[in-house]
Chain A
Amino acid sequence: MVRSVLRKAAGWVLMIVVATNATFFLASWFLDPRSNFRELRPVRSEAQIDQALAPYGLDPRVPVVHRWWDWLTSVVLHFDWGKSPTGVPVNGEVGYRALVSAELVLVATILSVVVGVALGVYTAARQYGFADRISQAVSIAVLNVPTSVAALAVVFVAIWLNQHAGLRFLYVAGENSPDVTGTLPVIGDRLLHLILPTLTLTLMGYVGYHLTQRSLLLDTLDADFVRTARATGLTCGQAIRRHALRAALIPTAASVAFGIPAIFTGAVITETVFGWNGMGRYFIQTIAKNDVHGAVATAAFAAALTAIGAILADIATVFLDPRVRVS
């Protein structure tokens, strides 16, 4: 088990290295940091611009292979991922934003999986029943609502609630309030700010798990072995939970693990609506501002998350399906 995970991890590390370096070259060719300076007044000459970029390793007069080598050595030796065209260190930005994203993503992922799978199991056992039809209709409706619309709807509802309850506990913008001090109040304040974006992400995320888990479980519900389990004296519900669900969870576990990197860097709209500075927005900003090093660091971050997700998926599969352990 440990050996096979280590072997898989080594393969993924290689994959991350290749992907990150390829991204560096692509970003260097397509992103032009000089354009950030051309709009500035007073107008600067090309030479002046290049001069300004040189300290950050972005001078276009230096051959791209040299720039790559400098970047690579600083990453490998000092774990320094470079600076943006305006001189902001990438490490600090990514570190801070990854934490912000993690806050958002962790709770939202857990909630979407729990809600989605539970709903899938509940409705699959009552196929075409009242609860199944209603939840199916709701889920399909939600599936078709764009994130921006859903997020704004959540904001409106929150404002309405705040006004009518006469409270101000649902924060519609920002990660925290600037005037709060002390450890506990700060944590409480951040949690309150977390409610609405988490709600939005959960709403967007649970639908997929509900619909796929329902159909996966329906496939195994009619399996002969579930009938055998019932014949040994399990009630229908017990047979589903102990025998059918475990087999039907394997694909879901894999999709959760692989879904984590996607929502880490893909929650752009939710972050924007609620004014959170997470990885999603950062990714868009780096590309818009021709920040080569920032874009590459984001890509490396996403690749690492994919690797972690894949290994988690393997571990989950082994946990759920003991047959894998045998071979």
Chain B
Amino acid sequence: MTLATPAPVPAATGAPAPVLSVRDLRISFPSEAGPVEAVRGVGFDLLPGRTLCIVGESGSGKSATATGIMGLLPPSADVGGQVLLEGRNLIGLDDRELSRVRGRSIGMVFQDPLSALTPIFSVGRQLSDALRVHQDLTRRAAWEQAVELLDLVGIPDPRGRAAAFPHEFSGGMRQRVVIALAIANRPSVLVADEPTTALDVTVQAQILDVLRRAQRETGAGLVLITHDLGVVAGHADDVAVMYAGRFVEHAGVEELFRRPTMPYTARLLAAVPTVDGGERRPLVPIGGEPPSLVGLPAGCPFASRCAVALDACRADEPGLREVGGHGRVACLRAGEIADGTLDPAGGAAPADDRVPAARAAAGEVVLRVEDLVKTFPVTKGAVLKRRIGTLHAVNGVGFELRAGETLGLVGESGSGKTTTLMEILRMRRPEGGRIEIAGTDVATLAPGARARALRQDVQIVMQDPLGALDPRMPVSQLLAEPLRAAGRDRASIRARVRELLALVGLDDTAGARFPAALSGGQRQRVGIARALATEPRLLALDEPLSALDVSVQAGVINLLARLKSELGLAYLVVAHDLAVIRYVCDRIAVMYLGHIVETGETEAIFADPRHPYTRALLSAVPVPDPARERARERIVLEGEQPGAARLPDGCVFADRCPLYRRADDTVRQRCRTRRPEPALVPGRPGHQYACHAV
């Protein structure tokens, strides 16, 4: 086979040759508006055993790059450039030739483990199939190897579990199986596309460890695609930052985090909320939105959002250039920024949406929850459903929320956070306990005018604004709907809609547009405005930021803070992202299996977590700083949160508790037999935790 351009000459003898070289990769997809140029000239070398992280926001082309390398793009995609795997160009090979490379020389780990495995085959069968595609093995030998692979990725009882089907595994366990599939034939290159995005943070830490072990075991080069800068800091050797289909900065991980040189990288790092470090610093959002990749205008695609853009930036798109002692950066002013003579943020942070320094004094109690209980029946049988158990989703949860205050419910999925929220929003007599909204016990509430008034006092902001807003209504209609339901007249509705748009920082023209025509951040602002329409006193926010990109997140965080202090709102926030929680909440309650295990002031808990679960949860969050991320000691919890169908008599966390393992017999006895009562931390009012062993 002859190549159009010569393969890269291996560097001086002694240095290992790259296992994967990508040269000027270009990918475009046809669309009704014209070709979408998803990847516009990406190139890198990957050495064996090294990890290249590609970071970027959604739509920056990182997933297209990964699938392009694997040759798994849809046939309609137009691909150019070279992907050299061990010197052989993969671009232009047909499906049959590529299939001999895929799985053998290059393996891939996908984002969503729930759908990545064929539901109708056992995991052992899928693994041994993957082995037998490339190796001449008997059925039995392949099965034995599959069991070994499952053991390698940390599946307990691999021999027994090999015959189980994917639906019998949890998300984290399935992702381990996907990793086992990827490394089955010891490929020289691994591509992992957002491998932990769909997982809980404690499981994320486990999976990243497995990935690292798999890489060490096979000596493969790893291309790790992620949007999480903390993951990058912990795992990358080299980092490539992607924006609008190109690498805009490509450097070693130390250099990149020490002095991010492309203004986009610098601003991205400034916009990321973090969990560690002393006082929280204000977030500086990047204004604007990532550009559309259809008919991109000339010039640097970041220029319109850049604080230090020159006229020349808008004329010509800068290529990647070597910056001494740093790496390669696609910016005309990279030299000045690398010297430290230019601040990439342009000096001043934007004046609007600033976090108010002083916290408003807490007002009257808006929400009081006492001993809330919610169970679901577990049933069996298709026609005659028999109750075979009870799922204790929420078990004795209680808290208080005052006007002007934000309470965050934190925990892994399945810990009962959302159920708690929904029970409050239901405004009916709870199964057990009491819910009091603005001084009214909801159990005593008869349907009628009083119930409707109270309903207006409590509003919700949903996780996915695209799903929560009716796509067939323009924004002004969406905002008017709750007001019409409240019986307002036409003129006051029109005035209020304009007011709401201004309140959330949207201009009047947005009122005439449909949700599909708005960006993610704008949509979430509409979602917030809609919730605010009836002037509620309590706003329930269910994962309000998890559908948003980092650069947009910061703006919404700041907006929420401003609204709270201006309107004296109380927020009840449910989120799994602890860094976001830290920036939004005054107090947090950590939940595990339907119980609150620790509660207190946000900064107090982040500075001095007491409950072992809180500690593990906080330590599982990766920190976007390579030096600290690699040096710090992490508590990696073993196993996963069990189901809430059969709760133990004692502490619900005992099975995974690191303290329990080290405790002596008398403490263990107590952990096993008695639910721990909340205990106050001396000298810190409001900081409580429930543990026998601390």
Contacts and interface: CB of A to CB of B under 8 A. Distances in A.
A321 B102 contact: no
A230 interface: yes
Contacts of B118: 225, 228-229, 243, 247
Given A223-B115, A227-B72, A228-B117, A322 B122 contact: yes
B473 interface: no
A246 B125 CA distance: 15
A320 interface: yes
Interface string A15-26: 000000000000
A233 interface: yes
B116 A224 contact: yes
Contacts of B107: 231-232
Interface string A241-267: 011001100000000000000000000
Interface string A22-48: 000000000000000000000000000
Interface stretch (B6-14, B177-185, B364-372, B477-485): B177-185
Nearest to A231: B108
B130 interface: yes
Nearest to B94: A235
Contacts of B133: 232-234
B232 to A, nearest CB: 23
Interface string B110-133: 101001111111100000011001
Contacts of A223: 115
Nearest to B97: A235
A321 B120 contact: yes
A321 B118 CA distance: 11
Q: Interface size bucket, B side? A: 20 to 34
B134 interface: yes
Given A228-B110, A232-B133, A235-B99, A322 B165 contact: yes
A13 interface: no
Contact of B95 (A236, A243, A320, A321): A236
Interface in A175-196: none
Contacts of B120: 246-247, 320-323
B70 interface: yes
Nearest to B111: A224
A228 B174 CA distance: 13
Interface in B172-222: 178, 181-182, 184-185
A232 B119 contact: no
A227 B184 CA distance: 16
Contact of A231 (B72, B115, B122, B134): B72
Given A227-B72, A323-B167, A233 B116 contact: no
Contacts of A323: 119-120, 165, 167
Given A246-B120, A322-B165, A323-B120, A228 B181 contact: yes
A224 B181 contact: no
Interface string B80-119: 0000000000000001100111111001101010011111
Nearest to A222: B74
B117 A232 contact: no
A167 interface: no
Interface string B456-469: 00000000000000
A231 B183 CA distance: 11
Given A228-B181, A231-B182, 17 more contacts: A224-B112, A231-B70, A231-B72, A232-B103, A232-B107, A232-B129, A232-B181, A232-B184, A233-B185, A234-B99, A235-B99, A237-B95, A238-B99, A243-B118, A246-B120, A323-B167, A326-B168
Interface of B: 70, 72, 95-96, 99-104, 107-108, 110, 112, 115-122, 129-130, 133-134, 165, 167-168, 178, 181-182, 184-185
18 contacts: A224-B115, A225-B115, A227-B110, A228-B118, A230-B102, A231-B107, A231-B110, A232-B102, A232-B130, A233-B104, A247-B118, A247-B120, A320-B120, A322-B120, A323-B119, A323-B167, A326-B165, A326-B168
